[in-house]
Structure 1
Amino acid sequence: MHWSYIIQLLPSITLALLVGTATADYPLKPVPFNEVEMTSDFWRPRLETQRKTLVPFAFERTQPGAEHLKAARDFLAGKKVEDHRAHRFIDSDLYKVMEGAAYLLQLRRDPELEAKLDELADIIAGAQEANGYLYPSHTTGVGTAKNMMGDAPYTFVVHSHELYNVGHLYEAAIAYYQATGKTKLLDVAERSAHHINEVFFLGDPRYNDGKPIRQAPGHQELELALVKLYRVTGEQLYLDMARRFLEIRGLTYVPDGEGVMSPTYAQQHAPVTQQTEAVGHAVRATYLYSAMADVGTLTGEPGYGQALDHIWGDITNTRMHITGGLGAVHGIEGFGPQYELPNADAFNETCAAVGNVLFNYRMFLLHKDARYLDVAEVALLNNVLAAVNLEGNRFFYVNPLEADGKHPFNHGTAGRAPWFGTACCPSNMARLLPQVPGMTYAHDDRDVYITFYAESRTEITLDDVKVKLQQQTAYPNDGEISLVVNPAKQKRFRVLLRIPTWVREQFVPGALYRYVDTNNEPVRLTVNGEDASLQLEKGFVAIDRQWQAGDRVQLKLPMPVHITECHPAVKANQNRIALTRGPFVLCAEGVDNGGATQRFFFAKHPEVADAEVSTKTIDAGSFLQVKIDAQAITADKSIENSPLVLTPYYAWNNRGVSSMTVWFPRDPKLAVFDPHLLPKESIFSKVTASHTFADDTVTAIGDGKEPRFSSGKDVPRWTSRPQKNEPQWVEARFHATKSLRSVGVYWMQDQFDVKFPAEWSLEVEQNGEWTPFELYTTDRYDTRANQFNIVHPAAPIRCDAIRVRMTPKEDTCVGILEMIAEFEKE
């Protein structure tokens, strides 16, 4: 039997199956994504891109994950496994892409795609040990503590990702089962869950001397997946496990260290019901909060919801960017102090925005309050959509609110990258976007909620009466929505339409942002052509009537350009404004504005009522643009009036790399004609090397001349020619002791004897002593072409110099074109 109608938009947010045993659940039931026909000109092309480009591309890029699993399968089959490289979380990226592919199968049959999933299911089943354990690196014996996997299974749960990986497997298995009815992966998931329950809560003589481990996952995800597994199978054990993992957090194990080993990094500093602020790694946090909402709802435990109310307020009042981005701080990829919301230095990992959607959608189902949808929508339409280009094959991991068009902010690139060494973000996009239609409608026994506006149609059942719903709208580009309600027979019920926060007094809920202009137009609502009441109920307007076939509701949400200012405690945005239209944050790109966008400012509020709105069409798609009058600094530091073209934030960097600005200064002293022309000495005071080829120069490593390609034809370089096969080192000293945020190396590789190194690593000098550089939990020493290979420290570190150690490949030399380091502000 197929249960595809049960699984909704986002993992584990829907009502339990009839075979389940829960007595409580969310008061609202979303209409499943595969029961909504999306005809929107905004969303339909993205869903097609998902099918034709993003998922196939992601499968190609996650092939190393499949090879990782094949190694475990072959090892368990008694075959010799050679050159198997240990990796903590590479499997999870493949699982997420599989989940997204299975959702596509639910929307449309595809024999070729199904065969691909069948093949992968066989590989995964073969990689699972007889007792249910599934983690290739330990199965084949190559996992080591050095790589943060522990010396043996479950000996380093805080960072091994053993539980995180299988959580994503569970979600892929469930989606595969719903799409095909095949239970092979579901059986793998259930064996894994029973194994984990025994090891962590009962005790297994093969692990931890037979004592229950009783440690929560270092990276949350398993809790969400267990709830979803419970919903599909009805087995109470899985819900109980999810609750146990939540209840032991901050009790049975509390890390004692800094950075990734701090108690707050993975929200292990306190019992979850006592947590009131958003802290630590933002992705882990939002996954935790989503699981708390699920488990609290299903078990009827009020403490979870009370904690979440405090945390949600803390996020929206003090820690969320206007784009819905979370986790502003580099280093921990997470939440910093309240009001720490930088622009150019913002981290805002894509997965954290996905988590923001997950969390807020659950809060809406729990409270029936539109403000949670408003946050989810802003995060989805701005930060999440910005993370993938219109073609569906280049991605953002980091989502800043300002860029100079040169600085490699995005894990080694100054724009979107084709993939990442840590590929959680593009694989998360692969599984989220197919489910977007499921955020459009929800209902209970007598209320129908129109939650997200998009041209679409669906059918629901209220008290055995089928009701067809059809939206006609160009939303989110336009605010006119027409809803046709077609009950099979006359029936009284309420239809509730969301009146977003951005229509009213501010762009997004919370105390961080407010409109400062008076560019307001009235909302208008009619039913069959007659005006209806606009009295709000938790952000919704309710229409209570006896509905009959053909009834038409028309809603007009005005979309003027608005001016927003930020809470004064946010230092980065003091004396600055941002511009929005409808649910979109607007930004300026250099490609439209003849140079650096940092040169523009507004000495007085712009005349937004005179803004010109047009459509920009490029090969990959189209998006709206807005033109307003602004002022700009010139090369000779005079001021000129100049038009400013604005683009929705989600669409930036689709036409090449250029500068970008969201928050514009009011004071001309804050404007900069060209950030590239600012004086910039080398960040290094001295660079030395083990050996330098006579025709090269070691100072090239820190000369600030960033290459376009790894071939090194257009910039100075350092190489170790002609010393083939010999290990090399390069030392770079700073001008003073610095708090190191990251280091990036742009490797050289030509068609001759200079190749990327076989291995490399970093050391740091502190008080005259060289010590190993402790790598951040999800980083690795990569050698990706045509970009900086960025690594971060596991914890804040102050040092005087860095040393790169390199081992060349056989019969080759090594070369570096440029090296960069970023420091914490002091």
Structure 2
Amino acid sequence: MKKVILSFSLFISLAAWAQKSDYPIQATPFTQVKLTDAFWLPRLQTNAAVTIPASFARCESTGRVNNFVMAAKHTGKFCTHFPFDDTDIYKTIEGASYSMSIFPDAKLDHYIDSLINLIGAAQEPDGYLYTARTIDPAHPHPWAGMQRWVQERNMSHELYNAGHLYEAAVAHYMATGKKTLLNIALKNADLVCSVFGPGKLRVAPGHEIVEMGLVKLYRVTGKPEYLSTAKFFVEARGSYKGYDSTSKDPFKNGSYWQDDKPVDEQTEAEGHAVRAGYLYSAVADVAALTGDKQLLAAVDSIWNNLVSKKLYVQGGAGAIPSGERYGDDYELPNTTAYNETCAAIANVFWNERMFELHGDSKYIDVLEKILYNGLISGIGLDGKSFFYTNAMQIQNGFSHPSMEPERSGWFDCSCCPTNLTRLLPSIPGYVYAQKDNNIYVNLFMNSTSSLKVGGKNVSIIQQNNYPWDGDLRFTINPTSTQNFAMLVRIPGWARNEELPSDLYAFKQKSDKKVSILINGKPLDYTMENGYAVLSRTWKKGDVIEVQLPMEVKRVIANDKVAYDKGKVALQRGPLMYCAEWVDNGGKASNIIMPDDAQFTTAYKPDLLNGVMILESKVPAVQVDDNGENISTKEQTFVAIPYYGWANRGKGEMQLWFPEKVQSVQLLTTNKAH
């Protein structure tokens, strides 16, 4: 672990040297937050013990590794489906590097070194690295075109591959101090900077992420060309002349690629939801590092559009299966909801950056919603089964073909499983952030953390049973008596705000208040941007206690979301709940949720690795045996956290529940589905 500490120190010192402008708030590196949390630590352990090894094994068995072997020899035939399959290895190396920072693993370290040797051998002398062409340049992948970069705006993913290479290289360098993968990435980045830029080739990358990767290389090296090229790629959008601006087809007008107009003129989240999330993250990076106020205004507008008109109640994004994209405002159907796991990951990156720009808790409120619901729903509790899409409901007999009723071990396009390997071990890095002498407490996880305030060490111990319980305890241990401010996030859901917009709301307002005690004494505190500001002279052993009211709340959608009219969803703390067939008499689509339903909660340690369930008595629609008579019958209702569905087999699932029967629709089962 010594190498980790050294490399992080180098990373931070280079960043301080390289930038005059940066995010006003800086996240505390995840290596400084040691989790002991009963909810998150087992997930990180499963990622290390199961998900990462399974991902590498599947990269081997599917030919992804062999593509690099053949590229090094310039012989053979590209043996996987997509030209971006290289990135599954890059992303898993990134995740494994982060994971080794928490769980040192000499065998894994050696294996990654062997992969890096293959990657380096596959790189062409000028730095180009793209196995789909290098294996057989005369017969490249059909998406790639006969010459380098000619299909980049569309489908080649050459720069997308580069971006994930850069992210992996920085993670590996930070975790190990080794420059082997970093040198490969820098050689490639130098080529990219020599090809693209003012007076050179002008292309808006077809699938964004190279911009984020270049910014990370800039932070490590201080080389200004990396930042200027990232900014160039952002500003290249909207310059292609081949679109039909009058068309409403996102593939013809450029909006699928976020390329229909310059970024600083964009106001809506649009197009492919993963590409969009990576672009908006990069726009935040470039705005922070260059002080570009027009880009900042644009990314603010786009975020407001997402949160007020295009976000699912479980934090998912990208409603439309065609193009894996955002739809129109309030277009949030349940029966065809897409909600790609990678889009949730991209939106975690984006919301963290928005917080670091503005210091407002609303961004962490959205991040928390995504993290606890629509993101971890994408990975099974076994650590090796996944959802590419995250459904809002599954009903037997007429589920849409795009919806996945059960998890898969791998996909031909396996971007989501490998993306999860890199997101999960980085989660401790979202817990704290700092600005001057202010410490932001953003997420609630049992942990011991080491921070510096005014050059002095401060240890913070979190103790809680979150998300099942709202009682939070923080023990503050400065090395010597010291004055600073603890800014503790009071979640929107604890302040009667379901989301920082009017897209969703709690049907009834709670009169329960958040209480805060310091050293056992109640405190009158001030609120600032969603944070309780606790400013005082702290001494070793001071204890903050926060009590968040944990109630079962009914959520309703804005009337403009036609798909959710007359329905309610259930939330407790940060968690959305759903009903599965296995707990509710074999069905979930027949449940009615009247206003007078009362809920009890019970923690079930043996269910789904330990969950708090909701129980009630509610009416359910019943059809008699001959199929001619319909009635309602009271039955026991059980709801589980949404993230846990589809871990017990295949069957119905429902998240939004009708409050009463308004009509009955007769449907004929289509066996083809």
TM-score, length of structure 2 as denominator length: 0.94
**Amino acid corresponding to residue 74 of structure 1 in structure 2:** K
Tell me if the contact between 1:507 and 1:564 (Cα under 8 Å) persists in the aligned partners.
yes
CA–CA separation in structure 1 for the residues paired with 2:525 and 2:138: 61
Question: Could you say if the C-alpha distance between residues 412 and 596 of structure 1 is closer, same or farther in structure 2, counting changes exceeding 3 Å?
Answer: closer
Q: Residues 527-573 of structure 1: CA distance to partner in whole angstroms, max 9, x if unpaired?
A: 11111124311000001111101100000001100011100111100
What's the secondary structure of 1:601's corresponding residue? coil
Shift of 1:411: 6.0
How many angstroms does 1:642 deviate by?
1.9
Per-residue displacement from partner, 1:690-746 (whole Å, max 9, x unpaired)?
A: xxxxxxxxxxxxxx2xxxxxxxxxxxxxxxxxxxxxxxxxxxxxxxxxxxxxxxxxx
| Cα shift at 1:100 | 0.2
> What aligned pairs does 1:268-307 form with structure 2 within 5 A after superposition?
268-307=259-298
| Unpaired runs of at least 5, structure 1 | 9-13, 204-211, 682-703, 705-818, 821-826
**Aligned-pair CA distance for 1:185:** 1.0
Q: Which residue of 1 aligns with 2:626?
A: none
Higher helix content, 1 or 2? 2
The corresponding residue for 1:206 is none
Partners of 2:523 and 2:292 lie apart in 1 by 39
Cα distance in structure 2, aligned partners of 1:541 and 1:412:
41
- Residues 1:32 and 2:29 are matched in the alignment: yes
Which letter does structure 1 place at the counterpart of 2:502? A
Relative distance call for 1:660 and 1:85 in structure 2 (3 A) is closer
SS at match of 2:94: helix
Q: Distance in 2 between matches of 1:36 and 1:612?
A: 34
SS at match of 2:257: coil
- Residue 461 (str. 1) matches residue 452 (str. 2): yes
Letter in 2 for 1:183: K
> Could you tell me which residue of structure 1 aligns to residue 157 of structure 2?
161
C-alpha distance in 2 between matches for 1:97 and 1:352: 18
Q: CA deviation at 1:629?
A: 2.4
Structure 2 residue corresponding to 1:87, chosen from 64, 82, 89: 82
Deviation at 1:6, TM superposition (A): 7.6
Instruction: Note closer, same or farther for the CA distance 1:389–1:297 as it changes in structure 2 (3 Å cut).
Output: same
Change (3 A) 1:40 1:47: same
* Shift in alpha-carbon separation, 1:306–1:350, aligned structure 2, 3 A: same
Query: Residue 238 of structure 1 aligns with which residue?
Result: 226
Deviation readout 1:405-425 (Å, 9 max, x if unpaired): 566768685211111111111
Which runs of no fewer than 5 residues in structure 2 stay unpaired?
624-628
- CA distances 1:723-772 after superposition (whole Å, capped 9, x unpaired): xxxxxxxxxxxxxxxxxxxxxxxxxxxxxxxxxxxxxxxxxxxxxxxxxx
* CA RMSD in angstroms, aligned pairs only: 2.2
Aligned with 2:595 (options 605, 626, 629) = 605
Q: Provide the rounded CA distance (Å) in 1 between the counterparts of 2:587 and 2:240.
A: 53
Q: Once the 2 structures are TM-superposed, how far is the Cα of residue 2 of structure 1 from its aligned partner?
A: 5.3
Letter in 1 for 2:169: A
Aligned to 1:96: 91
Could you tell me whether the CA contact under 8 Å between 1:479 and 1:556 is conserved in 2? yes
Structure 1 match to 2:603: 615
**Judging changes above 3 Å, is the alpha-carbon distance between structure 1 residues 607 and 411 closer, same or farther for their aligned structure 2 residues?**
closer
Cα distance between partner residues in 1 of 2:614 and 2:607: 20
Q: Secondary structure of 1:69's match?
A: helix
Partner in structure 1 of residue 46 of structure 2: 49
Deviates more, 1:304-313 or 1:120-129: 304-313
Q: How do 1:107-118 residues align onto structure 2 when only pairs under 5 Å count?
A: 107-118=102-113
Match of 1:445 in 2: 436
Q: 2:475 and 2:198 mapped to 1: Cα distance?
A: 55
Instruction: Give the partner amino acid of 2:150.
Output: T
Q: 1:680 aligns to what SS in structure 2?
A: coil
CA deviations over 1:31-68 (Å, ceiling 9, x no partner): 11111110010011111101111111111112222111
Partner SS for 1:443: strand
Larger of the two Rg values belongs to structure: 1
**1:558-615 deviations in whole A, cap 9, x for unaligned?**
110001110011110011111100000111111100122111113x31444xx21112
Given candidates 235, 240, 244, the residue that maps to 1:247 is: 235
Contact 2:163/2:213, CA 8 A, preserved across alignment: yes
Determine the C-alpha separation between the residues in 2 that align with 1:416 and 1:614: 27
Q: Indicate which of 149, 154, 157 corresponds to 2:144.
A: 149
Q: Secondary structure at the match of 2:17?
A: coil
Name the aligned partner's letter for residue 419 of structure 2: N
Structure 1 counterpart of 2:635: 642
Return the letter of the residue paired with 1:116.
Y
Give the 3-state SS of the residue equivalent to 1:163 in structure 2.
helix
SS of 2:371's partner is: helix
Deviation at 1:520, TM superposition (A): 3.9
Determine the C-alpha separation between the residues in 2 that align with 1:411 and 1:436.
Answer: 30
Native 8 Å contact 2:271 2:325 kept in 1: yes
Preserved contact between residue 28 and residue 365 of structure 1 (Cα < 8 Å):
yes
Cα deviation for residue 643 of structure 1 reads 2.2
Counterparts of residues 328-477 of structure 1 (less than 5 Å):
328-405=319-396, 413-477=404-468
State the AA in 1 paired with 2:84: F
**Structure 2 matches for 1:3-18, cutoff 5 A?**
17-18=14-15
Q: How far is the alpha carbon of 1:357 from its aligned partner?
A: 0.8
Amino acid across the alignment from 1:679: T
Equivalent position amino acid for 1:453 in 2: F
State the shift of 1:16 in Å.
7.0
* Alpha-carbon contact 1:327-1:333 (below 8 Å) kept: yes
Q: Check conservation: 1:143, 1:152, Cα contact below 8 A.
A: no
- Residues 477 and 539, structure 2, Cα contact 8 Å, conserved in 1: yes
Greater strand share, structure number:
1
Offset of residue 334 of structure 1: 0.9
Q: Is the 8 A contact 2:133 2:141 kept in 1?
A: no
> Taking structure 1 as reference, are residues 679 and 19 closer, same or farther at Cα in structure 2, changes over 3 Å only?
closer
Distance 1:16 1:487 in 2: 23
Tell me if 1:523 matches 2:514.
Answer: yes
| Shift, 1:616, TM fit | 2.8
Which is further off, 491-500 or 533-542?
Answer: 533-542
Change (3 A) 1:223 1:430: same
Counterparts of 2:148 and 2:399, CA distance in 1: 37
Distance 1:529 1:517, change over 3 A: same
Does the 8 A contact of 1:350 with 1:398 survive in 2?
yes
Q: Distance in 2 between matches of 1:15 and 1:309?
A: 27
Q: Secondary structure at the match of 1:335?
A: coil
Q: Does 1:663 align with 2:653?
A: no
Q: Which amino acid aligns with 1:62?
A: C
What secondary structure does 1:363 align onto? helix
Instruction: Percent identity, please.
Output: 36
2:114 to 110, 119, 136: 119
Q: In the alignment, is residue 322 of structure 1 matched against residue 313 of structure 2?
A: yes
Displacement of 1:352: 0.6
Does structure 2 retain, via aligned residues, the 8 Å contact 1:38–1:454?
A: yes
**Would the alpha carbon gap of residues 255 and 136 (structure 1) be closer, same or farther in structure 2, given more than 3 Å must change?**
farther
Larger displacement relative to structure 2 (572-581 or 170-179)? 170-179
Report if aligned partners of 2:376, 2:643 keep a CA contact under 8 Å in 1: yes
Give the counterpart letter for 2:654 in structure 1: T
Paired with 1:570 and 1:504, the residues of 2 have a C-alpha distance of 23
Output the amino acid matched with 1:215. V
Report the CA distance between 1:180 and its aligned residue: 1.8
CA deviation after TM superposition for structure 1 residue 4, in Å? 5.5
- Equivalent residue for 1:71? 70
Deviation (angstroms), 1:518: 3.9
Contact 2:622 2:630 in 1 (8 A): yes
What is the aligned counterpart of 1:175 among 171, 181, 201? 171
Shift of 1:679: 1.8
Change (3 A) 1:420 1:82: closer
Q: Paired residues, what number?
A: 660
Match of 1:708 in 2: none
Cα 1:5–1:533 change in 2 (3 A) is farther
Partner amino acid, structure 2, of 1:107 = I
Structure 1, 144-153 or 102-111: larger mean CA deviation = 144-153
Tell me the CA shift for residue 140 of structure 1.
2.2
C-alpha contact (below 8 Å) 2:578/2:642 kept by paired residues? yes
**SS at the partner of 2:267?**
coil
- The TM-score normalised by the length of structure 1 is 0.77
SS of 2:313's equivalent?
A: coil
SS of the aligned residue for 1:177 comes to: helix
- How far is 1:618 from its partner? 4.2
Q: Secondary structure in 1 aligned to 2:18? A: coil
